[in-house]
Structure 1
Amino acid sequence: MLIAPDFCHHPAFEVRVPKRQTTPFVFNSPHSGRHYPRRFLDMTRLDALAVRRSEDFFVDELFHGATELGAPMLLAHFPRAYLDVNREPYELDPRMFSDRLPSFTNRQSIRVAGGLGTVPRVVSEGQHIYARRIGFEEARQRIEGIYKPYHSTLRGLLAQTHRQFGQAVLVDCHSMPASIRIGAEGVRPDFVVGDRFGTSASAGITEAAINILRAMGYMVAANKPYAGGFITEHYGRPAKGLHAVQIEINRGLYVDEQTLQRKPGFDALREDLFQFMATLVDLPQSAFADYSIAAE
C-alpha cells in the first residue's frame, strides 16, 4: 500500500470503537480533520486561518459520544483542503495541475467545475489553495495512500456491522455555513438531514432523525440544500439493508466562523447531539422502514 509522505508520522485517520458494538449504526466524520502537514502549508497561498475554511469545525468532537452508545466512529485527521473523501476517487480539476491528467479521471463534474474535487482547488469561500500548479503525482499519492484506505476502512466497518446485525446505518456527519438560508422566506436551518431524496436510507430512519431533532426545538430541513454527497450516495443501499444519512449542523450554533473559536453553546449542543444519537441508535431494526417520533 502506498504511504502518503505527509502522514508517515501522524495517522491520516482514526477508528474509534466501543468496548462492544451494540447497534447497527456507524458514524463518520470525513471533513473535521485539522492536522495540516508542513509540506502542504508550504504549498498553499493561504494563511493558517484561511486554509481551514473548508473544515467541518469540531464535528468529530460534537459526535464524540457515539462510542459510548456502542457505535464505532471513523474520523479524518487530514484536512478537507488537502483531500476530500466525499468525492469520487479521481474527481480532479485540470486547471490546477501542471501535467496532463490521465483519461480515467473525472474532469467534468459539477464539483470539479466549482474547484471542489477530490484534491480541491479552492477552499469553501472560493479562495485558491495553491500558490502554483501541482503535479498529478501529488494527487495520486494522496488518493492511493489515504483516500482508498479510508474508504476501505469505512466499507469494512459497514460490512462487519451488516454481518452482525443484518443491517447497517451510516450517519455521515458534517457542518454547514451559518449563512445558509432556505425557502422563499430565507429561513436558517439548524440541521439538514439528507438521504439523497429518499434513495440512500429508509424513510423511517430519515424521519426519525428529523423528528428527534425537531422535538429538541431545532429547525430541521430535509435534503435542501444538502441531500448528501458521494459517501451517502455510494454507501446507501436500503434494499440491501445498507442505509446512509447525512447530518449537516449549522456552524452558527457552536463556532465563530471568523476566529474558529467555540461558542458558549458548544457544550450544550454536544449534549443535545448525545441525546439525539442515543435515541437514534436505539431504533429497533424492525422499525427502520416506518419508525416515526412525533415532534413536540
Structure 2
Amino acid sequence: MQVFDVIRGDSPIVLGQPHGGTEVPGAIAGRLNPNGTQLADTDWHIAQLYEGLLPGATMVRSHVHRYVIDANRDPAGVSLYPGQNTTTLVPLTDFDGQPIWHAGQEPSADEVEARRLAYHAPYHDALAAELDRVRAKHGVAILFDCHSIRSNIPFLFEGELPIFNTGTNLGTTCAPAVEAAVDDIARASGRTAVLNGRFKGGWTTRHYGQPAQNIHAIQMEIAQRAYMQEAAPWAWGPSRAADLRPQLQKMLDHLTTLALSGAITSEGSA
C-alpha cells in the first residue's frame, strides 16, 4: 500500500493533504464496524478540488485513511483542543461521537505506536523535506494545509460551519500578511468565513508554522456543502466546485506573490 505521494513543483507553496486518503490495510479494515467502514470523515475529493489551481505547487498527500492514523494529530497524542470534543491520533469514534471499531477490536497503545511509525512518520518526513527544499530555493516556504468537513456536526461544533475556516493558531503560525492574504479573499468572496474559529489549525499547521524560520503555515478547512454532497455516496458537485475553485486559486496566487516578493522573509517581516 502506498502511504503517500509527492508531486514536486518549483513554487514557494506546498499543499498538504493529510485526510484525503481512503486506504485501509485489510487487517485493520476487518476490525472496523459497519459505521467505521463508511469512512464518513474523509476529506472527500480534496485532491480534485485543488488540482491545477497553482501550477508549480508541491503537493504532499496521504493515501492512508484517518481511521488508520490521523496524520494531522500530535504524534504524542496531545489534544489539539483541550476541553472540546475531538478525535484522537487513532480515532475510536467518528465525528458524531459514534464508535467505529467492533467491540474489543480497538487498537492498543502498542498498535497505535506501530501505525505512527508506519504511516504518520513517513508522511511528515516527506512533508518536512519538501518544505526544506522549497525554503532553500526561495528563501521562504508557505504550507497551505488543505482540509474539508461536513457543515453540521453537533458533536464537534454548534450550528452550521462557515464555508471558509482559516486557521493560524491565533496568528502564531504565519506572518500577518499571509493570514490576511487568505482571510481577506475568503471574506470578499461573498461566502461565510471565519478566522481561527472552531478550527485554528491542526498539528501540521502548528508544528511547521515557524515564521521566524521562514516557514509559514495556514490551514484551510472548507465546509463540504461548498463543493460536494455531504452524505453517502459523497458525490462531487461539479457546478459548486467550479464556483469555489477560483476563490482558492486567488488565495494561492496571492500567497505566491507575497513569497516571491520577499515581503515575508524573516528580514522583511521583522
Fold shared, TM-score > 0.5 on shorter chain: yes
| CA–CA distance in structure 2, aligned partners of residues 110 and 216 of structure 1 | 29
Could you tell me how far apart the structure 2 residues matched to 1:187 and 1:85 are?
25
Q: Does 1:15 align with 2:2?
A: no
**Alpha carbons 1:65, 1:274 under 8 Å: kept:** no
Question: Based on CA coordinates, which of the two structures has the bigger radius of gyration?
Answer: 1
1:218 maps to: 191
Q: Work out the percentage of aligned pairs sharing the same amino acid.
A: 29
Unpaired runs of 5+ in structure 2? none
Cα offsets for 1:61-114 (capped at 9, x unmatched): 111225x521101011101111101112131xxxxxxxxxxxxxx5x7756985
Write the distance in 1 (CA, Å) between the matches of 2:4 and 2:140: 25
- Is residue 13 of structure 2 the alignment partner of residue 25 of structure 1? yes
Go from structure 1 to structure 2 and tell me whether the alpha carbon gap of 1:53 and 1:186 turns closer, same or farther (over 3 Å shift): closer
Aligned pair partner of 1:148 in 117, 121, 130: 121
The answer to whether the Cα contact below 8 Å between 2:152 and 2:159 also exists between their aligned partners in 1 is: no
- The amino acid of 2:149's aligned partner reads M
Matched, 1:280 2:229: no
Given that 1:111 and 1:117 are in contact with CA atoms closer than 8 Å, whether structure 2 keeps it comes out as no
Which AA in structure 1 matches 2:208? Y
Range 152-161 or range 212-221, more displaced:
212-221
Aligned to 2:235: 261
- Tell me, what secondary structure is at the counterpart of 2:34? coil
What is the Cα deviation at residue 186 of structure 1?
6.0
1:116 aligns with 2:87: yes
Identify the match of residue 73 of structure 1 among 34, 44, 59.
Answer: 59
Q: Secondary structure at the match of 1:210?
A: helix
Amino acid at match of 1:261: A
Closer, same or farther: CA 172–40 of 1 in aligned 2, 3 Å: same
- The range that moved more, 158-167 or 41-50, is 41-50
What is the rounded CA distance, in whole Å, between the counterparts of 1:135 and 1:53 in structure 2? 23
CA RMSD of aligned residues (A): 2.7
CA contact (8 A) 2:35 2:100 kept: no
Partner AA of 1:267 in structure 2: A
| Secondary structure of residue in 1 paired with 2:216 | strand
- Please list the CA deviations of residues 139-180 of structure 1 after superposition, one character each: whole Å capped at 9, or x if unmatched: 222111111111111110111111111111111111132127
Task: Give the structure 2 partner of residue 97 of structure 1.
Answer: none
1:128 aligned residue: 99
C-alpha distance in 1 between matches for 2:83 and 2:110: 18
Q: Cα deviations across residues 184-209 of structure 1 (Å, max 9, x unaligned)?
A: x9675210111111110001011011
1:87 corresponds in structure 2 to: 73
Alignment partner, residue 95 of structure 1: none
Structure 1 residues 90 and 187: alpha-carbon distance in aligned structure 2, compared to 1, 3 A threshold: closer
The number of equivalent residue pairs is: 258
- What residue is the counterpart of 1:237 in the other structure? 210
What amino acid is aligned across from residue 193 of structure 2 in structure 1?
Answer: V
Distance in 1 separating the partners of 2:109 and 2:70: 16
